[in-house]
Amino acid sequence: MIQGIGLDIVELERVARLDKRNSKFRERILSSSELQIYEKMSGHRKTEYLAGRFAAKEAFSKARGTGIGQDCGFLDIEVIAEPSGRPALYFRRQPVKGFISITHTQTVAAAQVILMED
Ligand SMILES: CC(C)(COP(=O)(O)OP(=O)(O)OC[C@H]1O[C@@H](n2cnc3c(N)ncnc32)[C@H](O)[C@@H]1OP(=O)(O)O)[C@@H](O)C(=O)NCCC(=O)NCCS
């Protein structure tokens, strides 16, 4: 049974601006594994990746019904790609029973999360 759904969309220009201003922004959003992946990317792909993870984590928090806060921080959530490229969700290092999809265009990134009952 579906337990919750969440959707989020983020403007790339806003994320690029915040990321350029201070590296603390990406450190607040990305886990250490995600940061390592980000550091290997170049230019626009970095912004896409960061914005996609930001949207994914907000979408996950909405699917849980908590939003981002004490119960569910950005760093509690990890989105790691399988070898095929398909993203998979982890919460506090445990695999999450659910589904995630991320997309980007020239201007925005968006993500959808569906959580299943355990
Ligand atoms: C829920 C959350 C993710 C909303 O994100 P947001 O980007 O402010 O707002 P969005 O436009 O994406 O989403 C708003 C909608 O989320 C939904 N929502 C709000 N709280 C929710 C919750 N606990 N569970 C599920 N959905 C929720 C509502 O439907 C809301 O729209 P409405 O008020 O018109 O009904 C919230 O926890 C949040 O504000 N996170 C931001 C955390 C942060 O630190 N951001 C700054 C980084 S620089």
| Domain annotation for the chain: domains and CATH numbers | 2-116 (3.90.470.20)
CA dihedral 52, 84, 5, 29 (to 10 degrees): -30
Q: Are strands 108-116 and 2-11 parallel, antiparallel or unpaired?
A: antiparallel
Q: What is the DSSP string of 57-108?
A: HHHHHHHHTS-SBTTB-GGGEEEEE-TTS-EEEEETTEEPSEEEEEEE-SSE
Annotated catalytic residue within 40, 57, 97, 104: 104
Residues tagged in the binding site annotation? 8, 58
Verify whether ligand 1 is closer than 6 Å to residue 103 (CB atom): no
pLDDT tens-digit map of 76-117: 999 999 999 999 999 999 999 999 999 999 999 999 999 999
The residues with which 5 forms a beta bridge, in sequence order, are 114
In the reported structure, the alpha carbon of residue 7 is separated from the centroid of ligand 1 by a whole-number distance in angstroms of 10
pLDDT over 90 for what percent of the chain?
Answer: 98
**pLDDT for residue 118:** 79
With a CB cutoff of 8 Å and minimum separation 6, the contacts of 72 are: 60, 61, 64, 66, 91
In the sheet that holds 98-104, the strands lie side by side as 2-11, 108-116, 98-104
Taking a C-beta distance cutoff of 8 angstroms, is the pair 97, 118 a contact? yes
- The answer to whether residue 16 scores a pLDDT higher than 90 is yes
CA atoms of 12 and 96, how far apart (whole Å): 27
In the reported structure, the alpha carbon of residue 84 is separated from the centroid of ligand 1 by a whole-number distance in angstroms of 30
pLDDT over 70 for what percent of the chain?
Answer: 100
Verify whether ligand 1 is closer than 6 Å to residue 30 (CB atom): no
Nearest CA among 46, 71, 44 for reference residue 60: 71
Mark whether 44 is an active-site residue: no
pLDDT tens-digit map of 19-54: 999 999 999 999 999 999 999 999 999 999 999 999
